[in-house]
Chain A
């Protein structure tokens, strides 16, 4: 398969107050939102 000449991926995400944002702890979701 021919690999692509150019790869660009960027998504935006609207802040909703539920942003997971700690430093050295990751909140693994115990239940699906």
Chain B
């Protein structure tokens, strides 16, 4: 017999998942006792004990509480997705590199014999950028400018001249393979308060040198580790690990290696398949998921044992995406991604692309910094293609509960792999698992252990339920 009393007389809007009511996905998390109920449109989630989940989902309290805050939640997410101004630049002062890392996002010929900026030209470029940001950003804002590569220290004189000339106008960073980072260079960068990113792919030469080596085939592990040890106390240090099938199993050991040397920030970035070399090194997703999570857990074991944090920045960023979307520090795991709308890349000849990942794909060049006004470049068709790429327009992302914690990255990689921007992430399974792991971390009360200290500063709480 049917029981019509089960159909409450409440307005349809208070009965989840039908009519105008909000739709909540139910998602298993890495925590055995909790599931997540997710309203994906606003990136709202609530963790609830499994045995209570159905009552919460079918009751009136959740839809009612959500309805009261829906506009605020939507506004918050929309600001992050569509309302931010460009405030950061990847600046490649040279196309050349003294290494031949097989997975690089720049084509090999470009790295071998490419163009390089003279100091005066680089200063001219920074002047154009500084003026643009002065006209667009609020007073007092200091945009980021990261000298990236290829190897930016091959253009050391130009880079250091630019940093001196524009000190105070930008927050500078340098991403380097450390082979040219001699004492003088280190002291200069530290004196400027610059961020320093070192690339290191393994805890031993045997692992690290599989992918990162000179044109003659020699590894540079020892040089990188020396530089790392000399900078370990520097708060602006960050280590970038490119995760490939060659080093994925070594991630837990690598985390221990870095922690033992006092490193506080690391990015464990899965390689992008934008160029053929990267495609050949894409890690197996199941292996990536296993070792990545093991490495994350290792950071917590080390924290418990020593009281010292090693923050895995790309995972911490996902946690921020869940808890404070506007405070995120990286912009790959949201759609549209940050390319072309939060940051852009400038190549050694002044060409401007949405992200450095696109520098090897000429069809995504929006114009030249020295020839075309930046607002025009940022509104160019190649940029609009990237800035207009939304998960809502991609199948099956549009129905995914974690679409706004993943973002279906990366457009450059997907374009190279699929010939279209409108396809899901190459590592879709990994990103979905990562979101469920992150929700489990929160359920376990370990959020602070994975995040930077003081992460809640200047944030306002939105309390829904």
Instruction: Choose from A7, A16, A17, A25 the contact partner of B443 (Cβ within 8 Å).
Output: A7
In the bound complex, residues from chain B placing their C-beta under 8 Å from that of A14 are 326, 458
From B39-47, B117-125, B202-210, B387-395, the one touching the partner chain is: B39-47
Is the CB–CB distance between B137 and A17 below 8 Å? yes
Is the CB–CB distance between A21 and B236 below 8 Å? no
Question: Residue-by-residue, is B440-465 near A (CB-CB < 8 Å gives 1, otherwise 0)?
Answer: 00110001000000001011111111
Instruction: Choose from A5, A7, A9, A13 the contact partner of B326 (Cβ within 8 Å).
Output: A13
From B16-24, B189-197, B376-384, the one touching the partner chain is: B189-197
Closest-by-CB residue of B relative to A30 is: B236
Is the CB–CB distance between A12 and B146 below 8 Å? no
In the bound complex, residues from chain B placing their C-beta under 8 Å from that of A6 are 46-49, 52, 56, 465
- CB-contacts of A1-29 with B (<8 A): 3, 5-29
The docked-state distance in angstroms from the alpha carbon of A16 to that of B88 is: 13
The docked-state distance in angstroms from the alpha carbon of A26 to that of B462 is: 27
Is the CB–CB distance between B235 and A31 below 8 Å? yes
Instruction: Choose from B33, B44, B137 the contact partner of A10 (Cβ within 8 Å).
Output: B44
The docked-state distance in angstroms from the alpha carbon of A31 to that of B370 is: 33
Is the CB–CB distance between A12 and B330 below 8 Å? no
- Measured between C-beta atoms, what is the minimum distance from B460 to chain A in Å? 5
Is the CB–CB distance between A10 and B269 below 8 Å? no
B173 contacts A by Cβ under 8 Å: yes
Given A10-B44, A13-B324, A15-B79 in contact, is the A22-B195 Cβ separation under 8 Å? no
- Measured between C-beta atoms, what is the minimum distance from A15 to chain B in Å? 6
Is the CB–CB distance between B56 and A22 below 8 Å? no
In the bound complex, residues from chain A placing their C-beta under 8 Å from that of B47 are 6-8
Is the CB–CB distance between A25 and B323 below 8 Å? no
The docked-state distance in angstroms from the alpha carbon of A27 to that of B443 is: 28
In the bound complex, residues from chain A placing their C-beta under 8 Å from that of B326 are 11-15, 19
